[in-house]
Structure 1
Amino acid sequence: MTVGPTGGSQPTRKGPCVVVAGGGTAGHIEPALALADAVRRLRPDARVVALGTERGLEKTIIPARGYPLEMIPPVPMPRKPNFDLLKLPLRVRSAVKTTRDVLDRVGADVVVGFGGYVALPAYLAARGRVPIIVHDSNAKVGLANKVGARFAERVAVAVEDSGLPDAEVIGIPLRESIINLDRAALRARAREFFGLDPHAPTLLVFGGSQGARTINNAVSGAARDLADAGIGVLHAHGPKHTLAVQSVPGRPPYVTVSYLERMDLAYAAADAVVCRAGAMTVAEVSAVGLPAVYVPLPIGNGEQAHNAKPVVRNGGALLVDDADFTPSKVAELVVPILTDHRRQVDMATAARGTGHREAADVLARMVLDAAFKHSGRSS
């Protein structure tokens, strides 16, 4: 099934066909879409088709961004030995067959995988038929990309020491709206949009699309300390959480929202950030040049802490364990940053210095080169 921005199939083009596989979470989807945009910037005649499943966020995000979406069966990898593990070979076989049919039908010239349960069947379906490019955003590589890298023509990663052989460090592809964000030019509009003090140093707080209880409790618990220091707050607590914080009369407001529809304006309004340390989050915050206090999600293989460490080593951010992040820790770390303009500037410069703003175009050129070698056409 193909889903376009209005539910229908997309018109056929004569240019190269790039198939992207990056479904499931925003951390896989957003780099894939940033690449898609870059491919179309470099080659307006290119076709970009995305693979996805009914269970992932891509079902709504990708068509809304104007790209056709082909649905394939998901292949989740069981974390523990159980009955699902016994069913895995049949699921893989079904997903690979469906994906091969898609690649044949759309005339794929290259497959680009970003990890997750959409990427694995894409790699297996493309193996020996269509060139494969692998990109991994995380400091610790997942199983799908470890498999895909064995068959790939080129492998691109966000950071050094990924563990993938012959990987090229290019950073994470980011949206143009983030790469080209002029925070200073948007600041007055952004502060007015959120109802923030136009002049006070301002802290942006968010914990991902669903929020983060530890961050919510710690920062809201430090509301009085922040207010007494003359600091305003924009706090996205997540749709599954509630947060009631009363602003202190005569002090900059503490503004709470469930979700940030306009991250560009949120970044423009802020002077520093408290947030989790997902790969995309770290890349975006660094690219826009915001000092950060990262509080990694304390699950999985510890990859969030690893994502933040290059920025921390460079002086652009601080790193705090989830268990240690308390109201007193917020006051201890955040207030000195937001009341010292020189330190803000130094941290912002250090954060930008760790980024790869050109990553989307670099990856797009890799992809188009592989596509043209496969098709025999001239670029």
Structure 2
Amino acid sequence: MRIAVSGGGTGGHIYPALALIREIQKKEQDVEFLYIGTEKGLESKLVPIENIPFKSIHITGFKRKLSFENVKTVLRFLKGVRDSKRLLKEFKPDVVIGTGGYVCGPVVYAASRLGIPSVIHEQNSVPGLTNKFLSRYADRIAVCFEEAKEFFPAEKTVLTGNPRASEVIGQDGIRGRLSAGLKMKMPAVLIFGGSRGAKPINEAVLKSLTELGSKPYQVLYVTGDVHYEEIRKEVELVGNPENVIIKPFIHNMPEVLAGIDLVVARAGATTLAELTSLGIPSILIPSPYVTNNHQEKNARALSDYGAAELLLEKDLTGPRLIEHIDQILTDSLKLAEMKNGARQLGIPDAAKRLYKLMKDIVKVAR
């Protein structure tokens, strides 16, 4: 089987694609992949590391305001379609899978023009412009939230979950704790703001370090690479409590998550897939700077079911953050209820579901 995959821009589009590829590689001995992304996107770094053939096209997104740049984007899209057709004709895939980002637009559209079966995967509760456009051309639409179904044709849309969720199942939480420097018999909260960090979250934690030092739980605080050195300098002035471990980045996040009792994070789709798959309670601080405010809507999909507490960035302060952490970690009943709520929303076999969906449309095409 030959499969073309496209997804780019952010890890939220790329990690699900890579998780799906790894799942298919387990199931199919004779399978070939071609990943089509952009040269400037994160995918150009992450995909080659996985030894997956990578080709790039040039494409940019539309501006939401009237702009001459949008005219250039249309021209880039048309060229991107031509380039995608050339790559697909050369590779001859049985199916094309798009996991989001601007690059999927020309790739999946080109597949539809060539009569190649295609699937698009929407990670968020509110879809982006690219997937809304592609929903008219893709054979199937896979979603991660029930709330996303209303934006797509019902006859094409299937709830599969996020393939990234499948990769955190079965991880060794003990090894994850030890690798992060956490103690085994003390409750642990992980605080992070995504791969690059989040300045408002960092500011709230810094102002709370002294108080956190007196708590009966330990904190693994991930600053993000770009903020780490600046934060270390500030921590040296106020002191680093023994129960607070500060790191710039965590490379083995699935393993570490398996050993965590509570997470404080943004509300990106990949993070929520991991949390619900493992049944981890969370305090979600959605980024207000994303398209359609989709992170807040993602967060409410959990908080409305008791799996998470929602703390808007405009309400975020050091004391408010500690108050939320204390209320959860010091109340065993509340912690158990939130764990149960998270597990009920999780789809741990998401990669298998998406793989089956892909195989079904290939059978129909044949």
Fold equivalence (TM over 0.5):
yes
- What runs of 5+ residues in structure 2 fail to find an aligned partner? none
Is the Cα contact below 8 Å between 1:50 and 1:69 reproduced in 2?
A: yes
Matched, 1:296 2:286: yes
**2:293 & 2:24 partners in 1: Cα distance?**
32
**2:280 & 2:81 partners in 1: Cα distance?**
42
Farther off after superposition, 75-84 or 327-336: 75-84
Matched, 1:260 2:245: no
Matched, 1:358 2:349: yes
Evaluate the alpha carbon distance shift between residue 100 and residue 361 of structure 1 in structure 2; reply closer, same or farther with a 3 A threshold: same
1:12 corresponds in structure 2 to none
**1:168 & 1:146 partners in 2: Cα distance?**
15
Matched to 2:159, the amino acid is V
Evaluate the alpha carbon distance shift between residue 161 and residue 267 of structure 1 in structure 2; reply closer, same or farther with a 3 A threshold: closer
**1:357 & 1:175 partners in 2: Cα distance?**
5
Matched, 1:67 2:67: no
- What runs of 5+ residues in structure 1 fail to find an aligned partner? 1-15
**1:269 & 1:212 partners in 2: Cα distance?**
23
| Equivalent position to 1:180, from 161, 170, 184 | 170
**1:326 & 1:41 partners in 2: Cα distance?**
45
Matched, 1:100 2:85: yes
2:5 corresponds in structure 1 to 20
2:67 corresponds in structure 1 to 82
**1:182 & 1:220 partners in 2: Cα distance?**
30
Matched to 1:328, the amino acid is P
Matched, 1:150 2:136: yes
Matched, 1:164 2:155: no
| Equivalent position to 1:198, from 167, 184, 198 | 184
2:212 corresponds in structure 1 to 226
Farther off after superposition, 191-200 or 110-119: 191-200
2:300 corresponds in structure 1 to 309
**2:356 & 2:57 partners in 1: Cα distance?**
27
Evaluate the alpha carbon distance shift between residue 221 and residue 265 of structure 1 in structure 2; reply closer, same or farther with a 3 A threshold: farther
Is the Cα contact below 8 Å between 2:13 and 2:99 reproduced in 1?
A: yes
Q: Alpha carbon RMSD of aligned pairs, Å? A: 1.7
For normalisation by structure 2, the TM-score amounts to: 0.92
May I ask how many residue pairs the two structures share in their alignment?
353
**1:76 & 1:125 partners in 2: Cα distance?**
17
Instruction: Report the CA distance between 1:281 and its aligned residue.
Output: 0.8
**1:336 & 1:284 partners in 2: Cα distance?**
23
1:110-134 deviations in Å (ceiling 9; x for gaps): 1111221110001221123211211
For normalisation by structure 1, the TM-score amounts to: 0.89
**1:40 & 1:192 partners in 2: Cα distance?**
30
Matched to 1:165, the amino acid is P
Q: Percent identity?
A: 34
Is the Cα contact below 8 Å between 2:119 and 2:139 reproduced in 1?
A: yes
Matched to 1:80, the amino acid is K
Is the Cα contact below 8 Å between 1:149 and 1:155 reproduced in 2?
A: yes
Matched to 1:136, the amino acid is E
Instruction: Report the CA distance between 1:256 and its aligned residue.
Output: 0.7
**2:130 & 2:276 partners in 1: Cα distance?**
27
Instruction: Report the CA distance between 1:175 and its aligned residue.
Output: 5.7
**2:177 & 2:170 partners in 1: Cα distance?**
19
Is the Cα contact below 8 Å between 1:204 and 1:266 reproduced in 2?
A: no
1:322 corresponds in structure 2 to 313
